[in-house]
Structure 1
Amino acid sequence: MSEVERFWNAFRVAEPALAGPDATYTAWHFCDNQADADELADLVLAGRKRATAGALWSYEAEGEPLPRPGDLSVVTDWSGTPRCVIRTTSVEVVPFGSVTEEFAAAEGEGDGSLDYWRRAHRAAFEREAVLTGRAPSEEMPVVCERFEVVYPYSIRPARASDLPAILALNAEWEHVTSPLDGASLATLHEHAAYHAVAEVGSRVRAFLLALAPGAPYESPNYRWFEDHSAGFLYIDRIVVTHAHQRSGLGDALYRDLLSYAGRCGIERLVCEVDAEPLNAASDAFHSRRGFVEVGTQVLPDGKRVSLRELSIP
């Protein structure tokens, strides 16, 4: 099995929702020389490069199909070492002279300007003229592809600089968690015993925030556990962006939380799950992980919650 195949299989294990049993991929590197191929792969992993462009004539000369939204690719360096998996999000064919400043910035190369993009790509397309037999022009069709990095992901402690991204993630799901403003989130971050994010590429796609006993937090569910339990970590919220639901990020955060709890000698994880109305996804997620109901309560807004606990061996 090649290194690329092993990398792809690891991605399929980590992201089963994105790479089902019938998923396929192509493996390739950027550019026609080692220096640029390796540099652009680094830019993708650094979060600067989220687009790429190629001459339509080159696709036609090589008999290659155009990329399509949803396509998965293993990006390698010049030597063939896999660096990441990307998913195509949009494809547009436009004349060379119509490529925009915004697209040039998304490509992330050089100083990010349209002037740099035009000079660098015209030079590349001139080299490809040997293959296509057609000289670059302002009217030549260019395949403009945008993508996102979907693997690998990493779990790390949340930083103050992550709070705007975390706030935006919470806003996606505040109908089932609870609203947060910047000041409230900053306070939770300050007092959290555990606060971690999951990054895909260099973008925060999920977070988990948990509190130990004694925090200055007035949540009625946290207060219930303060009155009825000890030695716990209260999971205040775990949020995964819509685009990465069922991608394994929630599982990865829980595994990291359990590892942290074990190192710290914490006896139990606790949380609440909406019971009326039922949050079926959260109910199934926590039931699969062994959380059991230890109480219920009705909140001031009339919602009934199931208070749950997972004992840590």
Structure 2
Amino acid sequence: MLRLNADNRPVVATVEASDFPWLLAGEGHHFVAVDTTGRVLGYLFAVPRTSNYDDKEIAELRRLIAEPFYYICQVALAREHRGRGIRRTFYATLAEAARRHGARLLCCDVNVEPPNPESLAFHRRLGFRQIGAGVASNGFAVAYLVCDV
């Protein structure tokens, strides 16, 4: 997953192995797509509003949204596997899990500088709408997006 993260920079934030304790502690949801050889094709990490996960982006979303939500911390997909429905499956599976846990919204942030038009278009197709903008912890300008589950 770390290699896939590196391959998707700068449109995704850098993730290091030390960033995973919250994930290993069972907070939130993670989904990984692998091929028949075990090669990671993509992943999605998400945490609920009530998670101990704390970064500038989720703090801003907590300020903007009072109701229960799941924050998509990061999603990455190998370029050669885009357009095959993997991301859409991740999001549908997360939405189902979020509903089971009482959340009403999925939230994320998408880079606007440096631009990530592919991600913005993908999220809009899924029904995400912008509720704010800011500067992420990595210094990138981001749009904060939400979608009803």
TM-score, normalized by the shorter chain, greater than 0.5: yes
Call closer, same or farther: CA 1:232–1:183 in 2, change over 3 Å: same
- The answer for the alignment partner of 1:198 in structure 2 is 33
CA contact (8 A) 1:192 1:209 kept: no
Quote the residue 1:304 is aligned against: 141
Q: 1:254 aligns with which of 87, 91, 97?
A: 91
Deviation at 1:282, TM superposition (A): 0.5
Contact 1:271-1:308 at 8 Å conserved across structures: yes
For residue 114 of structure 2, the aligned residue among 277, 280, 291 is: 277
Q: 2:5 aligns with which of 166, 170, 175?
A: 170
Per-residue Cα deviation, 1:10-38 (whole angstroms, up to 9, x for no partner): xxxxxxxxxxxxxxxxxxxxxxxxxxxxx
Bigger-Rg structure (1/2): 1
> How many residues are treated as equivalent by the alignment?
147
Could you tell me which amino acid in structure 2 is paired with residue 206 of structure 1?
A: G
TM-score by length of 1: 0.44
1:69 — aligned with what?
Answer: none
Q: Which amino acid aligns with 1:193?
A: G
Separation in structure 2 between the aligned mates of residue 267 and residue 202 of structure 1, nearest angstrom: 36
Deviation at 1:276, TM superposition (A): 2.5
- Residue in structure 2 matching 1:209, options 40, 45, 49: 45
Q: 1:301: how far off?
A: 5.4
RMSD: 1.8
Matched residue, 1:289: 126
Deviation at 1:216, TM superposition (A): 2.9
Q: Is the 8 A contact 2:11 2:115 kept in 1?
A: no
C-alpha contact (below 8 Å) 1:167/1:185 kept by paired residues: no
1:196 CA displacement: 1.2
Which secondary structure state, in structure 2, belongs to the residue aligned with residue 243 of structure 1? helix
Q: 1:179 to 1:307 in 2, by over 3 A?
A: same
CA distance in 2, matches of 1:275, 1:191: 31
| Contact 1:191–1:211 (Cα < 8 Å) also in 2 | no
Give the match for residue 60 of structure 2. 224
- The secondary structure found in structure 1 opposite 2:130 is strand
What is the letter of the counterpart of residue 254 of structure 1?
Y
TM-score (norm 2): 0.87
Q: Is there any run of 5+ residues in structure 2 with no aligned partner, and where?
A: none
Give, in angstroms, the shift of residue 296 of structure 1. Answer: 0.9
Determine helix, strand or coil for the equivalent of 2:25: helix
Percent sequence identity over aligned pairs? 27
Richer in helix (by share): 1
Q: 1:191·1:215 contact (CA, 8 Å) conserved in 2?
A: no
Q: Determine the C-alpha separation between the residues in 2 that align with 1:213 and 1:202.
A: 35
Inter-CA distance 301–193: structure 2 relative to 1 (3 Å threshold): closer
Mapped to 1, the partners of 2:103 and 2:138 lie a distance apart of: 32
In the alignment, the residues of structure 2 paired with residue 275 and residue 177 of structure 1 have an alpha-carbon distance, to the nearest angstrom, of 12
CA contact (8 A) 1:207 1:240 kept: yes
Shift in Å, 1:202: 4.3
Detail structure 1 runs of 4+ shifted over 3 Å in the superposition.
186-189, 299-302
> Which AA in structure 2 matches 1:195?
H
Task: After TM superposition, give the deviation of residue 182 of structure 1 in Å.
Answer: 1.2
1:95-110 equivalence runs, <5 A? none
